[in-house]
Structure 1
Amino acid sequence: MTCRELIYDIERYCPFNEQEEKDKALILNWIKTNDNAFSRENAVAHMTASAWVVNKNRSKVLMVYHNIYHSWSWLGGHADGETDLLAVAIREVKEEAGIRHVQPVSKEIFSLESLTVDGHVKRGCYVSSHLHLNVTYLLEADSEEAVAIKADENSGVAWFTPEEALVKSTEPWFVEHVYAKLLEKMKTI
């Protein structure tokens, strides 16, 4: 997917709520005005892709215990120059959860978020606070497939019921503004 195709997909995406409406405008402006919007070299904000991974009957959600945030969270990562964010989301799920079989429920964008990232140490280097301008995709995997941690990023991989997923995360803003929204959106598909 080219940058132009991604911009088109974001432009035609129908926001679910006011948060997505505001974040959609922010993301589009950032991509259009920053040549390095898809690179971590942009220390203010850069594009990321996340995956809300569910099983076939939508009774379980896949989460990882994120080492930096010390919380159970969705899966995803940095674009690192790629503009095909669906491919980034799928790759990140395979890497972070150790599963091989994951597919999009739809190739359409599932949600949009502007996410604050507090300053932290990664691989011995300080990373300043910044924004992740995030595109989320709804993916499906088999909850019976074996999972494996990616020790440099997480220390747990597990499937939870949607209700458990909300309780397991220790990041209140994510629970209220992201995960609860994603669960609500799942009811509409």
Structure 2
Amino acid sequence: MNLRQQIEQYTPFNAQETKDQQMLLRYMDTFDNLLTRENEFAHFTASAWLVNDDFSKVLMVYHNIYQSWSWVGGHADGDADLLQVALKEAKEETGLSKISPVSEDIYSLEILGVPAHEKKGKHVATHIHLNVTYLLQASENEPIQIKADENSDIRWFGLNDAIEASTEPEMKVVYRKLNHKLKNLL
């Protein structure tokens, strides 16, 4: 199933996801280069809500650009298999080698505004991330490792503590939603 079909078949969790799903499909109808950063206005990213074995904790990184505790993830960079992007990014950003999807289905959809910033000495203009989130799982016992060019700390948080640790108000809303969905799985 291709990315468009996955997004079309996704059942939104709330009004935000319903609206974002409609907008994602509209962007896909309008632009042909959403999988790369060549589209400087909007492009696809994949994120992971990376939980421990009993779903009681989430692994967060302290993101250098946003200066906040954050989920893991990254840009599609041409890859339409966003689950594989989420897995790759989660492994790169945490040092974990054994990460598995709880499900291969999309866990959440978000359209996220990204403020202008500097990256590797280059200005990056304000833009939009067309984000697809997956629920991934790993063991708390496996060693974790900082990826210094992207994050400066990494830690397992209790679900509510992860929300409180984030300093980005818009992301707190997203993380609350992800936790609420997680509690519905238990």
On whether the aligned pair clears a TM of 0.5, the verdict is yes
Which of residues 123, 139, 143 is equivalent to 1:142? 139
Q: 1:88 corresponds to which residue?
A: 85
- List per-residue Cα deviations over 1:107-146 (Å, max 9, x = no partner): 0000000000000000000000000000000000001110
- List per-residue Cα deviations over 1:60-80 (Å, max 9, x = no partner): 100000000000000000000
Which of residues 177, 183, 186 is equivalent to 2:179? 183
Q: 1:20 corresponds to which residue?
A: 17
C-alpha separation in 2, matches of 1:90 and 1:125? 27
Matched, 1:30 2:2: no
Instruction: Please give the residue correspondences for 1:1-189 in structure 2 after superposition, counting only pairs within 5 Å.
Output: 5-176=2-173, 178-189=174-185
Equivalent residue letter for 1:182: L
Equivalent residue letter for 2:182: M
- List per-residue Cα deviations over 1:5-45 (Å, max 9, x = no partner): 11111101110111101100111111232111100010110
Specify the SS of the correspondent of 2:74.
Answer: strand
**Structure 1, unaligned stretches of length 5 or more?**
none
**Structure 2, unaligned stretches of length 5 or more?**
none
Q: Where in structure 1 do 4 or more consecutive aligned residues deviate above 4 Å?
A: none
Q: How many residues align?
A: 185
Specify the SS of the correspondent of 2:184.
Answer: coil
C-alpha separation in 2, matches of 1:21 and 1:158? 32
- List per-residue Cα deviations over 1:141-160 (Å, max 9, x = no partner): 00111000111100011100
Equivalent residue letter for 1:179: Y
Identity %: 55
C-alpha separation in 1, matches of 2:37 and 2:152? 24
C-alpha separation in 2, matches of 1:156 and 1:47? 25
C-alpha separation in 1, matches of 2:59 and 2:28? 29
